[in-house]
């Protein structure tokens, strides 16, 4: 998306919002996270994809995944960020930071010559700390999950094209967990983003991100994508799935890191203080919470033959346990053989 002028920029923001809302041209369906328009209604509202067989999120477990030694640590080549701007928006479903077409290339080491360009990051969270993340890790749901949405710049010229293309997107998922001993810097990463939730773009806060949705956005200084990723970028899961919001398009290569980023409770509370669109009947402000979809089956039973593989970059504890058990197994075989020989000798005797 080559954006330079104000008109083009406006068009790009509209395109972005349409894509993120799943409300494509001529599509009158609106969705949300309530009973009638929430995740359980999406398969009916968005028939083409939301009831598909490669849906996201899923439950991530070591036991159900396959170790792939070719999955190496991620490398990121970034430009100089000084003087550049990102834009933070509340789209009514979630809060997101648009990277404003920054030319950052991520090379996923397994695909060395491939090219992925981060487009935006958004989050999903709950109204209490026991729920909120979309993916589950070893049976656990985290209070917050960030999604860095990237597009494949080998085959596509823009996010808008890639978002509609086959295998056009890749998303990095990051869990957050609460640790009140952590102090976030207001000048870096998630700490800086949160500090912009209630920062006025002009003089009043009428259009602050925490008060207003579908606002034009608030500028914030650009920063390294690495600030939104955990320290350990070598341990992660990979699988092929979908967007977790309508239209649930199945064109996403998912990478979800195992190590959560730690944030204090006060930072989590800032997310819960964001506003969703007002209640249409009462006109009352509603807190933006529980904007997550529950886990979908990795391998749906129907249609028959729907099989997906969940890969992991790290050796498993199960593997380690088996390695420890292996000599015991050999001993068992040896003991069984000795018993057999003894039995034969007894028979002959
Ligand atoms: Zn998401």
Q: Which comes out higher in pLDDT, residue 272 or 116? A: 272
**pLDDT for res 93:** 87
Active-site residue 135, yes or no? no
Distance CA 154, CA 137 (A): 31
**105-118 residue pLDDT tens:** 776 655 556 788 89
Q: Taking the C-alpha atoms of 308, 44, 294 and 256 in order, what is their torsion angle to the nearest 10 degrees? A: 40
Distance CA 278, CA 327 (A): 64
Q: Which comes out higher in pLDDT, residue 81 or 200? A: 81
Closest CA to 249 of 172, 171, 310, 165: 165
Structure tokens given for 327? 């000599």
Cα of 205 from ligand 1 centre, angstroms: 26
The 3-state DSSP class for residue 340 equals helix
Cα of 68 from ligand 1 centre, angstroms: 25
Cα of 329 from ligand 1 centre, angstroms: 45
**pLDDT for res 193:** 94
Cα of 149 from ligand 1 centre, angstroms: 8
89 pLDDT band (50/70/90 cuts)?
Answer: confident
Cα of 130 from ligand 1 centre, angstroms: 18
**64-80 residue pLDDT tens:** 999 998 888 777 777 77
Structure tokens given for 29? 């369906």
**pLDDT for res 22:** 40
Cα of 332 from ligand 1 centre, angstroms: 50
Percent of the chain past pLDDT 70, that is, above it, reads 72
Q: Is 182 exposed, middle or buried (0-12, 13-18, 19+ CB in 10 A)?
A: middle
Mean pLDDT of the chain: 79
Cα of 154 from ligand 1 centre, angstroms: 23
Structure tokens given for 346? 């007894």
**pLDDT for res 163:** 92
200 pLDDT band (50/70/90 cuts)?
Answer: low
**pLDDT for res 284:** 74
**pTM, full prediction:** 0.81
215 pLDDT band (50/70/90 cuts)?
Answer: low
**pLDDT for res 329:** 41
Percent of the chain past pLDDT 90, that is, above it, reads 46
17 pLDDT band (50/70/90 cuts)?
Answer: very low
Interval 143-164 mean pLDDT: 93
Q: Which comes out higher in pLDDT, residue 250 or 211? A: 250
Alpha-helical segments (H) within the chain = 6-21, 42-45, 47-50, 159-164, 189-195, 265-272, 317-348
**pLDDT for res 206:** 53
Structure tokens given for 290? 């529980």
Interval 210-219 mean pLDDT: 66
Interval 176-185 mean pLDDT: 96
């Amino acid at each position: 998306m080559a954006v330079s002028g104000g008109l083009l920029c406006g068009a790009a923001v509209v395109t972005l919002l349409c894509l993120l809302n799943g409300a494509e041209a001529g599509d009158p369906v609106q969705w949300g996270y309530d009973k009638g328009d929430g995740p359980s209604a999406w398969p009916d509202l968005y028939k083409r994809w939301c009831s598909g067989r490669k849906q996201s999120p899923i439950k991530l477990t070591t036991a159900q995944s396959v170790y792939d030694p070719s999955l190496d640590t991620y490398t990121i080549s970034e430009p100089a960020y000084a003087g550049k701007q990102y834009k933070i928006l509340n789209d009514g479903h979630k809060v997101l930071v648009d990277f404003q077409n920054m030319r950052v290339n991520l090379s996923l080491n397994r695909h060395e010559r491939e090219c992925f360009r981060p487009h935006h990051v958004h989050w999903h969270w709950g109204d209490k700390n026991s729920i909120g993340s979309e993916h589950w890790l070893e049976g656990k749901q985290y209070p917050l999950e960030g999604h860095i949405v990237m597009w494949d710049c080998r085959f596509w010229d823009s996010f808008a094209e890639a978002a509609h293309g086959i295998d056009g997107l890749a998303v990095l998922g990051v869990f957050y967990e609460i640790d009140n001993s952590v102090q976030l810097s207001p000048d870096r990463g998630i700490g800086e983003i949160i500090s912009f939730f209630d920062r006025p773009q002009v003089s009043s806060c009428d259009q602050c991100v925490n008060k207003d949705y579908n606002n034009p956005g608030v500028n914030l200084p650009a920063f390294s994508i690495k600030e939104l990723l955990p320290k350990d970028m070598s341990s992660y899961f990979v699988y092929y799935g979908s967007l977790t919001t309508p239209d649930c398009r199945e064109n996403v290569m998912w990478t979800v890191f195992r190590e959560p980023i730690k944030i204090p409770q006060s930072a989590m509370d800032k997310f819960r203080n964001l506003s969703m669109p007002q209640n249409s009947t009462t006109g009352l402000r509603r807190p933006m919470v529980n904007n997550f979809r529950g886990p979908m089956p990795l391998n749906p039973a129907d249609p028959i033959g729907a099989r997906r593989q969940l890969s992991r970059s790290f050796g498993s504890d199960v593997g380690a346990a088996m390695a420890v058990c292996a000599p015991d197994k050999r001993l068992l075989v040896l003991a069984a053989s000795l018993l057999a020989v003894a039995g034969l000798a007894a028979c002959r005797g």
